[in-house]
Amino acid sequence: MNRLPKYKLSKSTFIRGLQCEKSLYLYKHHYNLKDEISPQLQAIFNQGHRVGELAQDLFSGGVDASPPNHFKMQESVLKTQAFIENGEKIIYEATFQYNGVLAALDILVKDDDGWKAYEVKSSTKVSDTYLNDAAIQYYAIVNSGIALKDIAIVYINNQYVKNGAIDVQQLFTIESVYDQVQDLLPNIPNRVARLKQVIAQKEAPAIGIGPQCADPYNCDFKGHCWKHIPEYSIFDISRLGSTKKFELYDNGVTTFEQMDLESTSLNANQLLQVTSELDNTSWIDRPKIKDFIQDLNYPLYFLDFETMGTAIPIFDNSRPYQQLVFQYSLHIQNEANDVTHREYLAEAHPNRDPREAFIKQLINDCGDAGDILVYNIGFERGKLNDLINVYPHYENDINNIINRLKDLMIPFQQKWYYTPEMKGSYSIKAVLPALVPELSYQDLEIQEGGTASNTFTQMVNGTFAGDVAKTRQALLDYCKLDTLAMVEILRVLKSV
């Protein structure tokens, strides 16, 4: 392994350094300060890996230059050299090192024109970050003696509809970025030199927090760099732009108490959030709430959906990343305030599309009269319209449900009811503890929709390693609390 000098930058650390030099330094010298990877982020990484493997079918029959593990990346460089010398035409994970930069490429192909590079992404378009990513790869590959004729990004075509086995030619879009890479190339040597200097410094660059902390990615040193920011701060002011927040911060303002409300331009809702916190006062518009409640028609149905969406569609008649329903909870309340509960959770199986059984039971459970309350109407209405597209024979019944939907979020979104505990948010996760503190998601094994979605997806694709029966119960408990929360929130609204 002595044949190659140790590399200083990889493709990912180069991109990290472009986002923030301090993040690069911390990654190289204080890796232990990095935030833990959340299950949601891990699910995104895993999905990217699966997409990368599937994209190899676009150029099948290649050889794999992958290293045995992440710590032996340079073995891939030697493997790649050997494959090229042996006349291989298709190489997966081809890796090159030049001037202290190590870059792994998803697919390297030699056709009649010459060598072409393909980098696979699980997103649905080409971003500026991907262009920088391709430029550093091109730099390492071409300077290693491979005359690239083209370099392209392979990404997901979100208009592809699965019908039978996955058609990789339809699932993926291949877009040449050769011209954009040529535009970026002249800057690469200086950028590489600069980032090597950063790594060689004795201490971290003195870079304060700023918009770069979340652009283009959420930095995984945020927990370290942001530890001086209070848990509830100016950064939590609802819908206040990032530029404005950092203007306040740069002027020494982090808490609401430090704000000069006369010189800070806030809209009415933002002002309500700040003054409510400062004065510890709630705001209740009783006439508007009364009108909202009087407009409800019994029996009332409180409905919540859970959905899953994957880059590679699992079921026929579905698209990449399309959110597919797999679970609902429904509380039903009559005029005497008696409440019953219904629920549906699909069987997790890659050959059993959950949607038709879901909609059949939902039509049955929702009856044909009475308002159906949801929290954030756009979501449930959108999923129901998707179901009409796939199952047009249920159109009348589904439209009956759609036409009865009403949004319980409105009183909170419109700030007819606001308390300091909501911290500027009108999500049900913020409203419930503010209005009904005795009910809590904190006691549940699954506490939010992202985890529910990832868990069920793992069950469907066979990667779930936990206790299935116990976890199915946890899914039911989580979704049930969403609709019970709505029942209790409406009770509080009625009481005012």
Neighbouring residues of 254: CB distance < 8 A, sequence distance ≥ 6: 228, 229, 230, 233, 234, 248
What is the DSSP code (8-state) at residue 10? E
Furthest C-alpha separation in the chain? 81
Beta carbons of 432 and 489 less than 8 angstroms apart: yes
Nearest to residue 154, comparing CAs of 178, 173, 138, 131? 173
Q: Is 99 left (phi over 0), alpha (psi -120 to 50) or beta?
A: left
Q: Tokens in use for 188?
A: 């690469």
Nearest to residue 305, comparing CAs of 443, 401, 390? 401
Return the HEC string of 109-129: EEECCEEEEEEECCCCCCCHH
Helix (H, G, I), strand (E, B) or coil at 257: helix
- Please measure the distance between the N-terminal and C-terminal CA atoms of the chain and give it in whole angstroms: 74
Distance CA 369, CA 144 (A): 71
Which backbone phi and psi does 427 adopt, to 5 degrees? -70, 155
pLDDT one digit per residue (tens) for the chain, 496 residues: 447 999 999 999 999 999 999 999 999 999 999 999 998 999 999 999 999 999 999 999 999 999 998 889 999 999 999 999 999 999 999 999 999 999 999 999 999 999 999 999 999 999 999 999 999 999 999 999 999 999 999 999 999 999 999 999 999 999 999 999 999 999 999 999 999 999 999 999 999 999 999 999 999 999 999 999 999 999 999 999 999 999 999 999 999 999 999 989 999 999 999 999 999 999 999 999 999 999 999 999 999 999 999 999 999 999 999 999 999 999 999 998 999 999 999 999 999 999 999 999 999 999 999 999 999 999 999 999 999 999 999 999 999 999 999 999 999 999 999 999 999 999 999 999 999 999 999 989 999 999 999 999 999 999 999 999 999 999 999 999 999 999 999 999 999 9
H/E run at residue 47: helix 39-55
Distance CA 63, CA 89 (A): 9
pLDDT at 2: 47
pLDDT at 1: 43
Distance CA 241, CA 235 (A): 9
pLDDT at 410: 98
Beta carbons of 328 and 343 less than 8 angstroms apart: yes
What pTM did the predictor assign? Answer: 0.93
Give the residue carrying structure tokens 């472009």.
18
Q: What letter represents residue 318's amino acid?
A: S
Whether residue 216 is preceded by a cis peptide bond, meaning omega within 30 degrees of 0, is yes
H/E run at residue 436: none
Beta carbons of 173 and 157 less than 8 angstroms apart: yes
Give the residue carrying structure tokens 């954030």.
376
Nearest to residue 282, comparing CAs of 416, 133, 413? 416
H/E run at residue 252: none
The CA-atom distances, in angstroms, between 89 and each of 61, 137, 175, 375 are 9, 19, 21, 54
